[in-house]
Structure formats: structure tokens, C-alpha cells
Amino acid sequence: MERNQYFSVTALNTLIKSKIDGDEELHNVYVKGEISNWKGYSSGYFFDLIDEKKSVISCVVWRDNYLYLPFEPKDGDEVIALGSVSVYVGRGRYNFAVKTLEKFGQGAALLALEALKKKLQAEGLFDVSHKQTIPEFPRSIGLIVGDQSAAEADLIKNISRRWPLCDILVFPSLVQGKDAPKELLKALRRAETTEIDILIIARGGGSNEDLSAFNDETLARELYTCKIPCISAVGHEIDTTLIDYVSDLRVSTPTGAAEAATPDQAEIRAALLGAEDALDTAIKNIFSKKRDLLNNLSARPFFKNPSSNYEKAKEEVQQLSKRLSISLSHILEKNKSQVESLSSKLNALNPRNVINRGYSMTTDEKGNVITSINQIAEGDTLKSVLKDGVITSKVTSKE
């Protein structure tokens, strides 16, 4: 970089922030340390994490996340913090934005869970390409929920309200405690034997220990092979379990699951009414155009007085007939004149006219006209054609 090319402090801090924010390895990181300088403000809580080598990282847990912490943190607590590294541009300092905290004794389980998560991710259980599409108009929905739980009531109420055409099948199960993973697995396998279009696995929020049943490896693998599109709604927005990663769709609440699984009958009704109005308008427009076309056609002279076209055509035929008659007369007169002229010429050349004036025409027996004595010999019979008859004679001599 040349000397005359430089960053402003803000630009450099912003660049560093974009680099850190874009690094996936710095997202959802678990950090172990001791809490120091815990201070609360209206926006959240700020503190430091210190390790045994006295290395320090500044941390913040925003109020929305603080509300779901399973304990009240204080200075001196040894904890496992889950969060992401970021940069505060205004001061050029990086910090650790904490999503949740667990005391170290409990945090060991989080580290084991993180290792399992990485293992399943490497095997492709979280791949987007494997996820199924949630049907748009389900005929039946299965629910894996706690028996008579608030999540069950919430789902049934909202599904029935939004899409009453859908059947709801409930597969009750324990959702907390040491037997919960086995019960959830049984419920999932029962659901797989039924004809349902969507499966929802749901429970309310709780601590990591409360939600641990949904981090069971066997359950996650069974859900991965499930042929039914599955929606997970376990815990709250900040809670994430293994089945959230494996499921085809993850939402934060049972209400959100009901909304994701069903169309809203009110919206569909409104859309159908809108389509009906549009269709009605289109039909009216077509009818109006056809009516205008019919009116235009009916206003034409032919439709007002159909015989007018006949009369007009009759008049045109009469005119053409007259023109044809005149043309034929002219042609006949012209041809008559030509015939008379040719007739006069033929008459002038007609031998009979010459004979009629006192001449005769001599032919041999075959009718050939004799014009020279060289055509006859003594003894030949000749015929002489006169005005009023024919004389036959024999040649006795020629001179």
C-alpha cells in the first residue's frame, strides 16, 4: 500500500470487524474463564473473562439473552460462555458477545455436546441438501410433545385456527429427565408408522439440562433418516439443540411451528375472494367488449336493412349487364363490318361472278381448272362451266 493511500481509523476498524464477523470459526465459540468486573446497564451486562494465565477478553451479554440465563452470574464464577467474537468500531476493540453462560461444572456437558455436534455435522446430518420441503397444504400433522403440556395446547389451538381441514395426531412423550430420550425416540418411531404429512417436535424453554433430551445422538440420527418432513420448536430463540440442526425446519416457539406447518385459512379465503373479484371483473370486461362489438355490428346498414345489400348488388349487376350488352353490341358491329368487308373481297374474287358476266371456266374430268393448253392433250374430256350449265367436250386439237 502506497504512503498516499491510507485508511481512516473508522475504515480500518470497520475492515477488521468485517474480517472477524465473516470468520465462521469465531461464531458460536465456547470459552472457559472466570467472571470479573461484572456490571449491569439498561442495555445489558459487561464483564471480563480471565483464565489461569491472566489473559483477559471483554464480554457482553445483552439483556434479551440475560433473561434466559440459568443462574445469576457474579464475579469469581468459573463459567463456560457460548458466543461470537466481534469488534466495536468506535473504540477499535474486539469483544465476546455472549449468548448463554453455564457454570463450569455444567459447562463440561456443553463441551461434550459441542464435540458431538461437530461429529454429526462432519457426517452431513446438518446438510441443507438433505432437508425436505414442508408441504404447503398438509392433510395431517403429528405432534411429539409433553402430554397435556402447554406446547401441545398451543399447537392444537393454532393449527385448528389456521387450518381446520387438517387432522392432528398427538404422540405424547416425556420431554425432560433421564428417560426422556428413550421416550422421544419411541414417539418418533410411532409417528413414522403413521400417514402424516408433517411432524412437529416441540416443548417450551428451559435450561440446557432441561433440553438435554433433545441432544441425544440416537434421537438425532433417527430424525435424520425420518421420511416425514419435520419441524423442531424446542426451547426459545437462544436455545439450540441437535434436533434443531437435523430437522428440516427450525422455529423458536410452538406457535411459530403451527404457523410454519399450515397455511392461514383467513389469508386463503381473502386470496380466493380477491381471485373471485378479479375473475368477475375480467368476465364483465369481456362481456362489455363483446357487447360493444355486437352494437357496432348491429349498427351497420346491412343489419339495419338486410335487403339494402341485395338492392345494391342488384343495381351493380344491372349496371354490369348494361355495360356487357353495350360491349357485345360494339363487338358485334365491329365483327359485322369486318365480315362485310371480307365478303366483298371474296365476292370480287369469286369465279362465279366472272362467269355471270359471260365468261366460262374449263376444267378437266377431275375438276382441275385449265389455264394453259399445256395441261391438256388431244382426246381429253373437258368441262366448260357456263352461267347456266356445264358443256362436256373432247379435245380434237389444240393450237
The CATH-assigned architecture of domain 9-111 is: Beta Barrel (2.40)
pLDDT tens across 284-341, in order?
999 999 998 888 887 777 677 777 677 777 888 888 888 888 888 888 888 888 888 8
Residue closest to 214 by CA, chosen among 172, 183, 190, 242: 242
Name the range with the highest mean pLDDT among 76-85, 214-223, 289-298.
214-223
In the chain, where are the structural domains located? 9-111, 138-263, 303-347, 352-394
Q: What is the pLDDT of residue 375?
A: 84
pLDDT tens across 165-188, in order?
999 999 999 999 889 999 999 999
Do the domains spanning 9-111 and 138-263 agree at the CATH topology level?
A: no
Long-range contacts of 152-159 (CB under 8 A, 24+ apart): 152/202, 154/253, 154/254, 154/255, 154/258, 155/200, 155/202, 155/254, 155/257, 155/258, 158/254, 158/255, 158/258, 158/259, 158/262, 159/258, 159/261, 159/262
Band of pLDDT at residue 106, cut at 50, 70 and 90 = low
pLDDT tens across 243-256, in order?
999 999 999 899 99
pLDDT tens across 156-171, in order?
999 999 999 999 999 9
Query: What is the C-alpha separation between 263 and 271, in angstroms, rounded?
Result: 12
Q: What is the pLDDT of residue 235?
A: 76
pTM recorded for the entire structure: 0.52
293 burial level (CB within 10 Å; 0-12, 13-18, 19+): exposed
Query: What is the C-alpha separation between 17 and 88, in angstroms, rounded?
Result: 8
Domain 138-263 - what CATH class? alpha beta
